[in-house]
Amino acid sequence: MLNCSNLSKTYGAGTVEVKALDNINFKIQKGEYVAIIGGSGSGKSTLLHMLGGVDSPTSGEIYIDQTNIVTLPEKELAIFRRRKVGLIYQFYNLIPTLNVRKNILLPMLLDGRKVNEDEFNSLVHTLGLQDRLNHMPHELSGGQQQRVSIGRALIYRPAILLADEPTGNLDHKNSDEIVELFRIANTIYNQTIILITHDEKVALCADRIITIEDGKIVSDKAVK
């Protein structure tokens, strides 16, 4: 479902040029759970931003299903981002002035969609946030805030979940709960997951681990 070919990204020009991604090639099947690991500055976040259509590559193609998202006009790209991918970051990126319910529902509110309350309640229960719906983000723990951001990423049941160090700011217990949510999204909802992590234990929960160094894939292995 995802096919990345000859993908390169260069920031800056001349003496300040940084080749963040250098001819990346891989395919990911629908329903795969892939962890991306690599040192700091190796290009992991850059790659995730390309896959999510948040930033565009210097060259190369990214096919998601039949669409090359690199050449999509901005308007269609915005719709792709909202409906096809769910993005999760280390620092949650919640809207501080909206309560938990509205933060989770944000993609639907932006799209003018009607909310199915049964589906919403079922998601909120999976996330363990049923008693926090009217709270504001600053009233929540880090783990709870991350669960809200995962809720926002899951509300559309997007085909692909992209997560950049989602447990990087959490303690072990909260980290385990977040990893469990990804497992549920993957096995129950058949969502494709691409997850960047520093944490070996988190990476080993995936089906496959891709290692990046200096913008290149240096290893791509199935997890036994």
Ligand X SMILES: Nc1ncnc2c1ncn2[C@@H]1O[C@H](COP(=O)(O)OP(=O)(O)O)[C@@H](O)[C@H]1O
Instruction: Say how many C-beta atoms besides its own lie within 10 A of residue 81's C-beta.
Output: 18
Nearer to Mg ion, 55 or 119 (CB): 55
Name which position in 45, 103, 145, 186 contacts Mg ion (CB under 5 A): 45
What is d(CA 163, CA 170) in angstroms, rounded to the nearest whole number? Answer: 14
- Is residue 45 close enough to count as binding ligand X by CB under 6 A? yes
- Is residue 197 close enough to count as binding Mg ion by CB under 5 A? no
Nearer to ligand X, 1 or 70 (CB): 70
Only one of the segments 33-41, 58-66, 93-101, 116-124 lies at the binding site for ligand X (rule: CB under 6 A); that segment is 33-41
Nearer to Mg ion, 45 or 174 (CB): 45
Give burial (CB, 10 Å; 0-12/13-18/19+) of 146: buried
Say if residues 34 and 209 touch (Cβ distance below 8 Å): yes
Name which position in 2, 4, 7, 20 contacts ligand X (CB under 6 A): 20
CA distance readout (Å), 42 to 21, 25, 59, 119, 217: 8, 16, 18, 39, 10
- Is residue 175 close enough to count as binding Mg ion by CB under 5 A? no
Only one of the segments 36-44, 67-75, 109-117, 145-153 lies at the binding site for ligand X (rule: CB under 6 A); that segment is 36-44
- Is residue 66 close enough to count as binding ligand X by CB under 6 A? no
Residues 156-185 that bind ligand X (CB under 6 A): none
DSSP symbol at 12: S
Return phi, psi of residue 210, to 5°.
Answer: -105, 130
* Positions in the binding site for ligand X (CB under 6 A): 11-12, 18, 20, 38, 40-46
* Positions in the binding site for Mg ion (CB under 5 A): 45
